[in-house]
Amino acid sequence: MAEPLLSVRDLVVEFPTRRGILRALDRVSFDIMPGEVLGMVGESGAGKSITGAAIIGLIEPPGRIASGEIRLKGQRIDNITPEAMRKIRGKRIGMVFQDPLTSLNPLYTVAQQLIETIRTHIDCSEAEARKRAVALLDRVGIPAAARRIDDYPHHFSGGMRQRVVIALALCAEPELVIADEPTTALDVSVQSQIIEVLKDICAERGAAVMLITHDMGVIAETADRVAVLYAGRMAEVGPVREVITEAMHPYTAGLMSSIPTLTQESDRLVQIPGAMPRLNAIPTGCAFNPRCAKAFGPCTVERPELIAQEGGRQVACWLYDEAKRREVPHV
Amino acid sequence: MIAFILRRLLQSIIVMVAVAAVSFTLFRFVGDPISSMVGQEASIADREALRDSLGLNDSIISQFLRFMGDALQGEFGISYRLQMPVTELILQRLPATVELALVSGTLAFVLGLSLGVYTALKRRGILSNLIMTGSLIGVSLPTFLIGVLLIWVFAVELRWLPSNGRGEVVALGDWWSTGFLTHSGRLALILPAITLGLYQMTLIMRLVRAEMLEVLRTDYIKFARARGLSSRAVNFGHALKNTLVPVITITGLQLGSIIAFAIITETVFNWPGVGALFINSVRFVDVPVMAAYLMMIALIFVVINLIVDLLYYAVDPRLRVDRAAKAH
C-alpha cells in the first residue's frame, strides 16, 4: 500500500476549562491517501472541525493537542515550531472555511489577498503572482477574472466569494485541502457547483481533500472514503459506497437512515433516539451505548477500538469483535 | 465623492452658524462687560456712552448679524479688556496651544496605538496586565491632578523639568513662535504634553485593544493564518487595518478635545496659549474673545470631523461602493 499523505494517530485534543479538562478528540486515527477525498461526518460538536484545526495547527488556545501524532508524508507536524508550521499552512495544507462572507478581509481587494498569499509561499514577482492569481480565479469559475480580481470581497456574491476562498486556499498548490463545511452557508442552488469546482480543481492538481460536512448527500457524491466521528471518537471509516449502503456501526446506520430520499415512501424520517453526550459526560465504554439498540455486555464497560474489517473498512464496535461476542452468548 | 464633500461642507457651515448663534446669545447673559471695563468712579452717562460706542445698545439681531459678517472676514472685534484686535490676540497665543496639542496628540496616538496592539496580542502577558492596570489611572485621574502630581515629582522634588511657561521661543515668520527649536522650549513641553495626552492615550489604547481583540477573532484572520501568512502580516497587515476604522473616529474627536481641554492644562502649567486667554476673558466678561474662542474650537472640531470622514473613505472600500451603488 502506498504511503498515506496524512496520517493521524491517536490524536487527543483537550480544552482545559474551569470545570475540568474537556476532551474534544479522544484517540482519533485515520489516514488520507494522496489525491483522495475523505469525507468527515458527524453531528455538531462531534469534533470534525477540531480535527481540521488540529491538522493545520490552528486550535484556539487554551485548547491543545495533548497526545497523538499527525504526520504529513511521514514527517511529524504536530510538534514542530510555529514558524515551521506556518510554512506548511497554505503551502502544503490549504483550508477552506465555512462562511465565505466572513472569510475574506473586507479592506483588501481579491488581488491583494491572492498576491500576498502567493508571494508568501512562492518566490515570484508581483506581476507573475498576479498572472497566477487571474488564472486561478478563471479556473474556479469567476467570469472576467482579469477585471474582477481588483474588486473588493463585498462586490461578490456568496457563491463567488467561496470560489475566491477556494482559489486562496489552493494558490500555493497544497497537497491537502481541508474544507470545513464549505457549502453550509451557501444557497442550495450553488452548493453543488462549489463542491464540483473544489473536487475538480483538487483532482487536477492531485491534491487530497478532507471534506468536513454533515451533508451526507455531498459525501456520497464527492468522497472516496468516509470517516464517521461521534463524541470525539472515530466510529467507522471505510469506502463511501459500502459505508452508505451497509453501515457497520449502529451509529452510522442510524445516521444513514435519517437521510431523506425522494424515492423513499415513509411518512416519518428515522431518527436516532437521544442526543450526543456532552464532552464532560461521555459514558464509560462505547460513547454511543445509551442510544444504541444493539448494545450488549461490554459496550457499557470497555471502549471499543477501531477494528480492521474486509475491504479496507474499520469500525469501532464490539459487535464485530468475535471474542467479545462469544463471552456474552445470549446476544 | 465630490457630492459627498459638498454635502459635508454644507453641514459644517450649518453647524458653524449654530455655534455662532449659541455662543453669541449665551455671552449676552454672562454679565455686563462695561462694569469691568470702567473704573468705579465712571458716571452712568459715561457708561452709556461707552455702551453706545461698542454697539451694545443695538438690537440683538443686528448685533449678531454684525458679528457674523465680521467673523466671516476673520474679524472678531476688539477685546474689551486688552483693547487689541481679538484675531491678533488669538493668533498670538495659538502657536503655544497648537504645539502643545500636536505633541500630546502624537504622543497619545502613537503610544495608545502601540500599547493597545501590544496588550491585545500579548493578552495574557504580565506586562500587558500591568499596562492595563496602569491605564486605569490615566482614565480615572482628572487632568489637573495629573498635572499637579507631575509638577510635584518632576519639577519640585527632582527639579528635572520646568513647571511654568513655554521656555524660550523662536519667532518663525511674522505670526508663529515655536518652542521646538530651543532646549528650554522642548523641556517645557514635556510635562504639559504628558498631562494633556495621558487621558487620550489610555482611551485610545483601551479602544485599540478592544477592537483588535474583536478583529483577531474574526474568520478572515483565521483564514489569513490558515493560508500561512506570517504573524506580522496577519497582525499588522490584516488585523490592524480593520482595527483602525473605528479608532480613527475616536482619535479625531480626541484631537479636538485635546485642543479644547488644553484650558485646564494651560492653567495648571501657566502655558501662554489660547486656553489661558479664554479663562482670563471669562473672568473679565470679554465677550469678543470668548465668542471668537468658541468659534475657533467649533471650527477645529468641524474640520477634524470632515477629515475623519474622508479618512474613512480612504480606509474602508465598502463605503465608496455603497455611495456609488446608490448613484446608479
Q: Residue A264 pLDDT more than 70?
A: no
Of the candidates A90, A106, A152, the beta carbon closest to that of B228 is on A90
The C-alpha of A226 sits at a distance from chain B's nearest C-alpha, in angstroms, of: 24
Tell me if A106 and B231 make a contact (CB, 8 A cut-off). Answer: no
Average pLDDT in the A221-250 region? 90
Q: Report the percent of chain A where pLDDT is more than 70.
A: 95
Chain A residues contacting B, CB < 8 Å? 56, 58, 86-91, 94-95, 97, 99, 102-109, 116-117, 120-121, 152, 154-155, 165, 168-169, 172
In a domain, B123, yes or no: yes
Tell me if A97 and B321 make a contact (CB, 8 A cut-off). Answer: no
The helix/strand/coil state of A186 is coil
The label of the residue with cell 493545520 reads A56
* pLDDT tens, residue by residue, B6-36: 888 888 889 888 888 887 776 667 666 677 6
- Cβ contacts of B226 on chain A, cutoff 8 Å: 56, 58, 89-90, 94-95, 97, 169
In this structure, are residues B197 and B258 in contact, taking their beta carbons and an 8 Å threshold? yes
Chain B residues contacting A, CB < 8 Å? 218-220, 222-231, 233, 237-238, 241-242, 315-318, 321
> How confident is the model at residue B324, as a pLDDT?
45
Q: pLDDT tier at A329 (50, 70, 90 boundaries)?
A: low
- Closest chain A CA to residue B219: A103
Tell me if B317 and A152 make a contact (CB, 8 A cut-off). Answer: yes
Tell me if A107 and B317 make a contact (CB, 8 A cut-off). Answer: yes
In this structure, are residues A304 and A321 in contact, taking their beta carbons and an 8 Å threshold? yes
To probe the interface with B, which of A105, A112, A173, A180 has the most B CB atoms within 10 Å? A105
Tell me if A97 and B222 make a contact (CB, 8 A cut-off). Answer: yes
Q: Give the helix, strand, coil percentages of chain B, each rounded to 5.
A: 75, 0, 20
Taken as a whole, chain B contains a residue count of 328
> How confident is the model at residue B208, as a pLDDT?
92
Of the candidates A91, A103, A116, the beta carbon closest to that of B233 is on A116
- Cβ contacts of A175 on chain B, cutoff 8 Å: none
Of the candidates B219, B233, B318, the beta carbon closest to that of A102 is on B219
The C-alpha of A72 sits at a distance from chain B's nearest C-alpha, in angstroms, of: 16
In a domain, B83, yes or no: no
- Closest chain A CA to residue B240: A107
Of the candidates B222, B233, B318, the beta carbon closest to that of A58 is on B222
> How confident is the model at residue B53, as a pLDDT?
77
Q: Give the helix, strand, coil percentages of chain A, each rounded to 5.
A: 40, 25, 40
> How confident is the model at residue A267, as a pLDDT?
65
Tell me if A106 and B224 make a contact (CB, 8 A cut-off). Answer: no
DSSP letters of A114-171? HHHHHHHHS---HHHHHHHHHHHHHHTT-TTHHHHTTS-GGGS-HHHHHHHHHHHHHT
Tell me if B228 and A89 make a contact (CB, 8 A cut-off). Answer: yes
How many beta carbons lie within 10 A of that of residue A119, not counting itself? Answer: 18
> How confident is the model at residue A265, as a pLDDT?
63
Question: Is A226 exposed, middle or buried (CB count within 10 Å of its CB: 0-12, 13-18, 19+)?
Answer: buried
Supply A33's cell numbers.
491517501
To probe the interface with A, which of B227, B230, B245 has the most A CB atoms within 10 Å? B227
List of E strands, B62-193: 170-172, 176-178
Tell me if A120 and B225 make a contact (CB, 8 A cut-off). Answer: no
- Closest chain B CA to residue A120: B229
> How confident is the model at residue A331, as a pLDDT?
47
Supply B204's cell numbers.
485610545
For the sheet with A233-239, list strands across it.
A93-96, A176-180, A208-212, A37-41, A225-230, A233-239, A313-315, A307-309
Helix (H) / strand (E) containing B120: helix B86-121
The C-alpha of B7 sits at a distance from chain A's nearest C-alpha, in angstroms, of: 25
What's the rounded Cα separation, in Å, for the pair A118 and A199?
A: 21
In a domain, B43, yes or no: no
CB hemisphere CA count around A289 (13 angstroms): 20
In a domain, B19, yes or no: no
In sequence order, what are the residues at sequence separation of 6 or more whose Cβ sits closer than 8 angstroms to the Cβ of residue B110? none
In this structure, are residues B36 and B284 in contact, taking their beta carbons and an 8 Å threshold? yes
Q: Structural domain of residue B135, as residue ranges?
A: 92-288
Tell me if B321 and A154 make a contact (CB, 8 A cut-off). Answer: yes
How many beta carbons lie within 10 A of that of residue B57, not counting itself? Answer: 10
In a domain, B35, yes or no: no
In this structure, are residues B319 and B312 in contact, taking their beta carbons and an 8 Å threshold? yes
CATH number of the domain encompassing residue B154 = 1.10.3720.10
Lowest-pLDDT choice from A213-217, A242-246, A325-329, B229-233: A325-329
ipTM of predicted assembly, 2 dp: 0.86
Of the candidates A86, A88, A109, the beta carbon closest to that of B230 is on A86
What's the rounded Cα separation, in Å, for the pair A299 and A289?
A: 6
In a domain, B304, yes or no: no
In a domain, B138, yes or no: yes
What's the rounded Cα separation, in Å, for the pair B100 and B143?
A: 15
How many beta carbons lie within 10 A of that of residue A262, not counting itself? Answer: 4
- Cβ contacts of B220 on chain A, cutoff 8 Å: 102-106
* pLDDT tens, residue by residue, A273-322: 788 888 888 888 888 888 888 888 888 888 888 888 888 889 888 888 87
In a domain, B122, yes or no: yes
Tell me if B226 and A87 make a contact (CB, 8 A cut-off). Answer: no
Identify the segments of chain B with pLDDT beneath 50.
322-328
Number of A to B CB contacts under 8 A, please give it: 79
Domains held by chain B: number? 1
Tell me if A90 and B227 make a contact (CB, 8 A cut-off). Answer: yes
- Cβ contacts of B224 on chain A, cutoff 8 Å: 105
Of the candidates B223, B231, B242, the beta carbon closest to that of A107 is on B242
- Closest chain B CA to residue A178: B226
Q: For residue B124, which amino acid is it?
A: R
- Cβ contacts of A180 on chain B, cutoff 8 Å: none
The C-alpha of A231 sits at a distance from chain B's nearest C-alpha, in angstroms, of: 25
Average pLDDT for chain A: 87
